[in-house]
Amino acid sequence: MLALRKTTPGFGLALEEVPEAPPPGPGDVVVQVEAAGICGSDVHAYEWTGGYEFMVPRLPLTMGHEFAGRIWRTGTGSGFHNGDRVAIIPFIACGHCAACRAGDPRGCTRRETIGLTRDGGFARQVRIPARCCVPIPDHLEMELAALAEPLGVGAEAVLTGEVGLGDTVLVLGPGTIGQAIALMARLAGAARVIVAGRADAPRFEVLRALGFQDLVDVAEAPLRDGVMALTGGRPVDVVLEATGVPESLNDGLGLLKRGGVLVVAGIHAGALTLPLTDFVRLRHQLRATHGAARRTWDRVIAHLARAPEEFRPMITHRLPLERGIEGFELARQRAASKVILTP
Ligand SMILES: [Zn+2]
Ligand SMILES: [Zn+2]
Protein backbone atom coordinates (compact mmCIF):
# COMPACT_ATOMS: atom_id res chain seq x y z
CA MET A 1 0.00 0.00 0.00
CA LEU A 2 1.03 3.63 -0.52
CA ALA A 3 2.23 5.54 2.57
CA LEU A 4 3.47 9.09 3.19
CA ARG A 5 6.56 8.63 5.34
CA LYS A 6 9.34 10.46 7.10
CA THR A 7 12.38 8.46 6.05
CA THR A 8 15.38 10.63 6.95
CA PRO A 9 16.14 13.42 9.47
CA GLY A 10 15.94 16.29 6.98
CA PHE A 11 13.54 18.26 4.84
CA GLY A 12 10.72 16.41 3.13
CA LEU A 13 8.63 13.26 3.12
CA ALA A 14 8.60 10.20 0.88
CA LEU A 15 5.60 8.62 -0.79
CA GLU A 16 6.45 4.92 -0.92
CA GLU A 17 5.03 1.43 -1.19
CA VAL A 18 5.02 -0.38 2.15
CA PRO A 19 3.64 -3.81 3.19
CA GLU A 20 0.01 -3.97 4.37
CA ALA A 21 -0.54 -3.51 8.11
CA PRO A 22 0.36 -6.71 10.04
CA PRO A 23 -2.53 -8.71 11.58
CA PRO A 24 -3.75 -7.23 14.85
CA GLY A 25 -2.48 -8.76 18.10
CA PRO A 26 -4.63 -9.06 21.25
CA GLY A 27 -6.30 -5.72 22.01
CA ASP A 28 -5.32 -4.26 18.64
CA VAL A 29 -7.27 -3.35 15.54
CA VAL A 30 -6.34 -2.57 11.95
CA VAL A 31 -8.09 0.60 10.81
CA GLN A 32 -8.89 1.32 7.16
CA VAL A 33 -8.12 5.05 7.03
CA GLU A 34 -10.71 7.13 5.13
CA ALA A 35 -9.64 10.71 5.98
CA ALA A 36 -6.46 12.11 7.53
CA GLY A 37 -5.69 15.76 8.23
CA ILE A 38 -2.31 17.45 7.83
CA CYS A 39 -1.46 19.10 11.16
CA GLY A 40 0.85 22.05 11.83
CA SER A 41 3.17 19.70 13.70
CA ASP A 42 3.28 17.43 10.63
CA VAL A 43 4.41 20.44 8.60
CA HIS A 44 7.17 21.19 11.14
CA ALA A 45 8.36 17.60 10.92
CA TYR A 46 8.20 17.84 7.11
CA GLU A 47 10.31 21.02 7.12
CA TRP A 48 12.63 19.58 9.80
CA THR A 49 13.34 22.98 11.33
CA GLY A 50 13.88 21.60 14.84
CA GLY A 51 11.85 20.18 17.71
CA TYR A 52 11.20 16.74 16.21
CA GLU A 53 14.54 15.06 16.92
CA PHE A 54 12.66 12.49 19.06
CA MET A 55 11.50 10.95 15.76
CA VAL A 56 15.02 10.08 14.57
CA PRO A 57 15.35 6.64 16.27
CA ARG A 58 11.87 5.71 14.94
CA LEU A 59 12.51 6.51 11.27
CA PRO A 60 11.31 5.55 8.78
CA LEU A 61 7.68 5.91 9.85
CA THR A 62 4.32 6.72 8.31
CA MET A 63 3.04 10.10 9.52
CA GLY A 64 -0.56 11.21 10.20
CA HIS A 65 -2.22 11.58 13.61
CA GLU A 66 -5.55 13.28 12.78
CA PHE A 67 -7.59 10.56 11.15
CA ALA A 68 -10.77 8.55 11.05
CA GLY A 69 -11.81 5.33 9.36
CA ARG A 70 -13.38 1.91 9.69
CA ILE A 71 -12.26 -1.09 11.70
CA TRP A 72 -10.87 -3.52 9.13
CA ARG A 73 -9.59 -6.36 11.32
CA THR A 74 -9.86 -6.97 15.05
CA GLY A 75 -7.56 -8.71 17.50
CA THR A 76 -8.96 -10.71 20.42
CA GLY A 77 -10.61 -8.60 23.10
CA SER A 78 -10.59 -5.40 21.02
CA GLY A 79 -14.27 -4.74 21.73
CA PHE A 80 -14.84 -3.62 18.12
CA HIS A 81 -16.41 -5.26 15.07
CA ASN A 82 -15.29 -5.09 11.48
CA GLY A 83 -16.84 -2.05 9.82
CA ASP A 84 -17.21 0.01 13.01
CA ARG A 85 -16.60 3.71 12.29
CA VAL A 86 -14.04 5.39 14.53
CA ALA A 87 -11.98 8.53 15.15
CA ILE A 88 -8.47 8.00 16.52
CA ILE A 89 -6.92 9.33 19.72
CA PRO A 90 -3.28 9.46 18.61
CA PHE A 91 -1.68 9.03 22.04
CA ILE A 92 -0.87 5.65 23.56
CA ALA A 93 -0.15 5.54 27.27
CA CYS A 94 2.27 2.78 28.35
CA GLY A 95 -0.08 1.42 31.03
CA HIS A 96 2.79 0.68 33.42
CA CYS A 97 4.40 3.93 34.63
CA ALA A 98 3.44 5.61 37.92
CA ALA A 99 1.00 8.02 36.23
CA CYS A 100 -0.68 5.23 34.24
CA ARG A 101 -0.99 3.07 37.37
CA ALA A 102 -2.54 6.05 39.16
CA GLY A 103 -5.24 6.29 36.46
CA ASP A 104 -3.79 9.35 34.69
CA PRO A 105 -2.90 8.19 31.15
CA ARG A 106 -2.33 11.79 30.01
CA GLY A 107 0.48 12.00 32.57
CA CYS A 108 2.22 8.94 31.08
CA THR A 109 5.98 9.41 30.92
CA ARG A 110 6.47 6.81 28.17
CA ARG A 111 3.70 7.89 25.86
CA GLU A 112 3.76 7.02 22.16
CA THR A 113 2.17 9.20 19.47
CA ILE A 114 0.62 7.55 16.43
CA GLY A 115 2.06 9.25 13.33
CA LEU A 116 5.05 10.75 15.20
CA THR A 117 6.71 7.88 17.10
CA ARG A 118 4.99 4.96 15.32
CA ASP A 119 3.16 4.42 12.03
CA GLY A 120 0.17 6.69 11.52
CA GLY A 121 -2.74 7.43 9.22
CA PHE A 122 -1.17 8.62 5.96
CA ALA A 123 -1.69 5.12 4.53
CA ARG A 124 -4.64 2.92 3.65
CA GLN A 125 -4.28 0.83 6.80
CA VAL A 126 -2.72 1.17 10.22
CA ARG A 127 -2.52 -1.20 13.18
CA ILE A 128 -3.19 0.49 16.54
CA PRO A 129 -4.41 -0.42 20.03
CA ALA A 130 -8.23 -0.62 20.12
CA ARG A 131 -8.30 1.76 23.08
CA CYS A 132 -7.22 4.57 20.73
CA CYS A 133 -10.49 4.25 18.78
CA VAL A 134 -13.52 6.40 19.61
CA PRO A 135 -16.79 5.27 17.99
CA ILE A 136 -18.46 7.91 15.79
CA PRO A 137 -22.11 8.12 14.69
CA ASP A 138 -23.09 6.61 11.33
CA HIS A 139 -24.04 9.96 9.81
CA LEU A 140 -20.81 11.75 10.74
CA GLU A 141 -18.65 12.07 7.64
CA MET A 142 -15.07 10.83 7.88
CA GLU A 143 -13.49 14.16 6.89
CA LEU A 144 -15.31 15.83 9.78
CA ALA A 145 -14.43 13.02 12.19
CA ALA A 146 -10.78 13.66 11.23
CA LEU A 147 -11.23 17.15 12.75
CA ALA A 148 -11.97 15.65 16.17
CA GLU A 149 -8.30 15.71 17.21
CA PRO A 150 -7.63 19.45 16.63
CA LEU A 151 -11.14 20.31 17.88
CA GLY A 152 -10.36 18.34 21.05
CA VAL A 153 -7.20 20.39 21.53
CA GLY A 154 -9.30 23.55 21.16
CA ALA A 155 -11.97 22.30 23.54
CA GLU A 156 -9.40 21.34 26.16
CA ALA A 157 -7.83 24.83 25.90
CA VAL A 158 -11.25 26.42 26.44
CA LEU A 159 -11.89 24.18 29.46
CA THR A 160 -8.43 25.05 30.81
CA GLY A 161 -9.20 28.76 30.40
CA GLU A 162 -12.59 28.33 32.12
CA VAL A 163 -14.29 30.34 29.39
CA GLY A 164 -17.78 31.16 30.58
CA LEU A 165 -21.11 32.67 29.57
CA GLY A 166 -20.78 36.22 28.29
CA ASP A 167 -16.98 36.30 28.30
CA THR A 168 -14.92 38.30 25.86
CA VAL A 169 -12.20 35.98 24.59
CA LEU A 170 -9.07 36.78 22.60
CA VAL A 171 -7.62 33.96 20.48
CA LEU A 172 -4.07 34.50 19.26
CA GLY A 173 -3.44 32.61 16.02
CA PRO A 174 -5.85 32.00 13.12
CA GLY A 175 -4.72 28.45 12.22
CA THR A 176 -6.60 25.22 12.80
CA ILE A 177 -6.02 25.22 16.57
CA GLY A 178 -6.98 28.90 16.82
CA GLN A 179 -10.12 28.13 14.79
CA ALA A 180 -10.90 25.16 17.06
CA ILE A 181 -10.44 27.32 20.16
CA ALA A 182 -12.69 30.05 18.73
CA LEU A 183 -15.42 27.52 17.86
CA MET A 184 -15.29 25.89 21.28
CA ALA A 185 -15.19 29.24 23.10
CA ARG A 186 -18.37 30.24 21.25
CA LEU A 187 -19.99 26.93 22.20
CA ALA A 188 -18.92 27.52 25.81
CA GLY A 189 -20.96 30.72 25.81
CA ALA A 190 -18.44 33.46 25.06
CA ALA A 191 -20.29 36.60 23.99
CA ARG A 192 -17.43 37.85 21.84
CA VAL A 193 -14.57 35.92 20.29
CA ILE A 194 -11.77 38.04 18.81
CA VAL A 195 -9.16 36.24 16.70
CA ALA A 196 -5.79 37.75 15.86
CA GLY A 197 -3.37 36.73 13.12
CA ARG A 198 -0.65 38.16 10.92
CA ALA A 199 -1.25 38.64 7.17
CA ASP A 200 -3.00 35.30 6.92
CA ALA A 201 -5.79 35.95 4.42
CA PRO A 202 -6.72 32.28 3.70
CA ARG A 203 -7.25 31.52 7.41
CA PHE A 204 -9.07 34.78 8.07
CA GLU A 205 -11.38 33.74 5.27
CA VAL A 206 -12.00 30.41 7.01
CA LEU A 207 -12.74 32.24 10.27
CA ARG A 208 -15.28 34.47 8.50
CA ALA A 209 -16.91 31.36 7.00
CA LEU A 210 -17.07 29.93 10.53
CA GLY A 211 -18.96 33.06 11.59
CA PHE A 212 -16.20 35.08 13.27
CA GLN A 213 -16.19 38.74 12.30
CA ASP A 214 -13.99 40.21 15.03
CA LEU A 215 -10.63 39.61 13.37
CA VAL A 216 -7.44 41.59 14.04
CA ASP A 217 -4.60 41.53 11.52
CA VAL A 218 -1.46 42.55 13.42
CA ALA A 219 0.29 43.21 10.09
CA GLU A 220 -2.04 46.18 9.70
CA ALA A 221 -2.26 47.56 13.24
CA PRO A 222 -0.81 46.71 16.66
CA LEU A 223 -2.79 43.98 18.46
CA ARG A 224 -3.63 46.34 21.29
CA ASP A 225 -5.23 48.92 18.99
CA GLY A 226 -7.21 46.31 17.09
CA VAL A 227 -8.58 44.62 20.21
CA MET A 228 -9.30 47.84 22.11
CA ALA A 229 -11.23 49.18 19.11
CA LEU A 230 -13.48 46.12 19.32
CA THR A 231 -13.94 46.03 23.09
CA GLY A 232 -14.37 49.77 23.57
CA GLY A 233 -11.12 49.92 25.55
CA ARG A 234 -11.93 47.09 27.96
CA PRO A 235 -9.48 44.26 28.67
CA VAL A 236 -10.55 40.72 27.75
CA ASP A 237 -11.62 37.96 30.16
CA VAL A 238 -9.54 35.11 28.73
CA VAL A 239 -6.65 34.94 26.25
CA LEU A 240 -5.90 31.68 24.43
CA GLU A 241 -2.65 31.44 22.51
CA ALA A 242 -2.07 29.21 19.46
CA THR A 243 0.75 31.01 17.65
CA GLY A 244 3.96 29.35 18.84
CA VAL A 245 5.46 32.87 19.05
CA PRO A 246 6.54 33.63 22.66
CA GLU A 247 6.19 37.42 22.27
CA SER A 248 2.50 36.96 21.49
CA LEU A 249 2.03 35.99 25.16
CA ASN A 250 3.33 39.39 26.24
CA ASP A 251 0.93 41.08 23.83
CA GLY A 252 -1.93 38.92 25.14
CA LEU A 253 -1.11 39.58 28.80
CA GLY A 254 -1.18 43.32 28.04
CA LEU A 255 -4.85 42.97 27.09
CA LEU A 256 -5.95 40.59 29.84
CA LYS A 257 -8.13 41.69 32.74
CA ARG A 258 -6.92 41.61 36.34
CA GLY A 259 -6.98 38.00 37.58
CA GLY A 260 -7.61 36.72 34.03
CA VAL A 261 -6.29 33.48 32.56
CA LEU A 262 -3.96 33.16 29.57
CA VAL A 263 -3.85 29.64 28.16
CA VAL A 264 -0.79 28.59 26.16
CA ALA A 265 -1.56 25.99 23.50
CA GLY A 266 1.19 26.70 20.93
CA ILE A 267 4.41 24.73 20.67
CA HIS A 268 7.18 27.27 21.19
CA ALA A 269 10.73 26.92 19.90
CA GLY A 270 11.86 30.00 21.86
CA ALA A 271 11.68 31.25 25.46
CA LEU A 272 9.35 33.80 27.05
CA THR A 273 10.57 36.97 28.76
CA LEU A 274 7.93 37.74 31.37
CA PRO A 275 7.89 41.10 33.21
CA LEU A 276 6.92 39.70 36.61
CA THR A 277 5.89 42.89 38.39
CA ASP A 278 2.80 43.41 36.24
CA PHE A 279 2.19 39.68 36.14
CA VAL A 280 2.01 39.54 39.94
CA ARG A 281 0.18 42.81 40.56
CA LEU A 282 -2.46 41.93 37.97
CA ARG A 283 -2.67 38.36 39.34
CA HIS A 284 -2.51 36.98 35.83
CA GLN A 285 -2.81 33.22 35.55
CA LEU A 286 -0.67 31.45 32.97
CA ARG A 287 -1.82 27.92 32.13
CA ALA A 288 -0.72 25.30 29.63
CA THR A 289 -2.86 22.88 27.67
CA HIS A 290 -1.86 19.96 25.46
CA GLY A 291 -3.94 17.25 23.82
CA ALA A 292 -7.37 16.41 25.16
CA ALA A 293 -8.89 14.17 27.81
CA ARG A 294 -11.01 11.22 26.68
CA ARG A 295 -14.23 12.88 27.92
CA THR A 296 -13.36 15.94 25.81
CA TRP A 297 -13.24 13.70 22.71
CA ASP A 298 -16.76 12.51 23.43
CA ARG A 299 -17.97 16.12 23.80
CA VAL A 300 -16.34 17.17 20.53
CA ILE A 301 -17.81 14.23 18.62
CA ALA A 302 -21.23 15.12 20.04
CA HIS A 303 -20.85 18.66 18.68
CA LEU A 304 -19.63 17.39 15.28
CA ALA A 305 -22.60 15.03 15.07
CA ARG A 306 -25.08 17.72 16.10
CA ALA A 307 -23.99 20.45 13.69
CA PRO A 308 -21.48 19.11 11.13
CA GLU A 309 -21.78 22.08 8.80
CA GLU A 310 -20.65 24.47 11.54
CA PHE A 311 -17.21 22.84 11.34
CA ARG A 312 -16.82 21.97 7.65
CA PRO A 313 -15.39 25.40 6.57
CA MET A 314 -12.21 24.48 8.50
CA ILE A 315 -11.37 22.10 5.63
CA THR A 316 -10.07 24.06 2.64
CA HIS A 317 -8.42 21.32 0.58
CA ARG A 318 -9.09 17.63 -0.08
CA LEU A 319 -6.48 15.57 -1.89
CA PRO A 320 -5.84 11.89 -2.53
CA LEU A 321 -2.87 10.47 -0.59
CA GLU A 322 -0.85 10.25 -3.84
CA ARG A 323 -0.84 14.07 -3.86
CA GLY A 324 0.11 14.30 -0.19
CA ILE A 325 3.35 16.23 -0.77
CA GLU A 326 1.36 18.86 -2.65
CA GLY A 327 -0.92 19.07 0.40
CA PHE A 328 2.08 19.62 2.66
CA GLU A 329 3.36 22.38 0.39
CA LEU A 330 -0.05 24.11 0.43
CA ALA A 331 -0.06 23.96 4.23
CA ARG A 332 3.58 25.07 4.49
CA GLN A 333 3.03 28.11 2.31
CA ARG A 334 -0.12 28.87 4.32
CA ALA A 335 -2.17 28.81 1.11
CA ALA A 336 -4.37 26.16 2.75
CA SER A 337 -5.96 25.92 6.16
CA LYS A 338 -6.84 22.26 6.92
CA VAL A 339 -5.85 19.79 4.20
CA ILE A 340 -7.52 16.38 4.31
CA LEU A 341 -5.84 13.44 2.57
CA THR A 342 -7.82 10.40 1.50
CA PRO A 343 -5.83 7.16 1.16
ZN1 LIG B 1 -1.95 17.64 15.41
ZN1 LIG C 1 2.55 5.33 31.30
For residue 276, the CA-to-ligand 1 centroid distance in Å is 32
Residues 150-196: tens digit of each pLDDT: 999 999 999 999 999 999 999 999 999 999 999 999 999 999 999 99
Query: Homologous superfamily of 150-288 in CATH?
Result: NAD(P)-binding Rossmann-like Domain (3.40.50.720)
pLDDT of residue 49: 87
Domain ranges of the chain: 2-147+311-342, 150-288
Span 185-208, pLDDT tens digits: 999 999 999 999 999 999 999 999
Q: Report pLDDT for 51.
A: 84
Q: Which listed ligand is nearest to 292 at the C-alpha?
A: 1
What pLDDT is attached to residue 268? Answer: 85
How many angstroms does the Cα of residue 190 sit away from the middle of ligand 1? 25
Percent over 70 (pLDDT), the chain: 100
Could you tell me the pLDDT band of residue 270, with boundaries at 50, 70 and 90? confident
Architecture of domain 2-147+311-342: Alpha-Beta Complex (3.90)
Q: Is the dihedral of CA 74, 80, 86, 88 positive or negative?
A: negative
Which ligand places an atom closest to the C-alpha of 109? 2
Task: Point out the ligand nearest to the CA of residue 90.
Answer: 1
85 to each of 39, 72, 145, 263, how far by Cα in Å?
Answer: 22, 10, 10, 33
Q: Distance from the CA of 167 to the center of ligand 1, in angstroms? A: 27
| pLDDT for res 178 | 98
Distances (CA, A) of 130 to 20, 94, 112, 127, 300: 18, 14, 14, 9, 20
Measured in Å, residue 37 CA sits from the centre of ligand 1 at 8
Q: What pLDDT is recorded for position 32?
A: 98
pLDDT attached to residue 229: 97
Q: According to the model, what pLDDT value does residue 106 have?
A: 86
Cα(150) to centroid(ligand 1), Å: 6
At 42-87, the pLDDT tens digits run 999 999 988 899 999 999 999 999 999 999 999 999 999 999 999 9
Task: Classify 221 as helix, strand or coil.
Answer: coil
Distance CA 84, CA 210 (A): 30
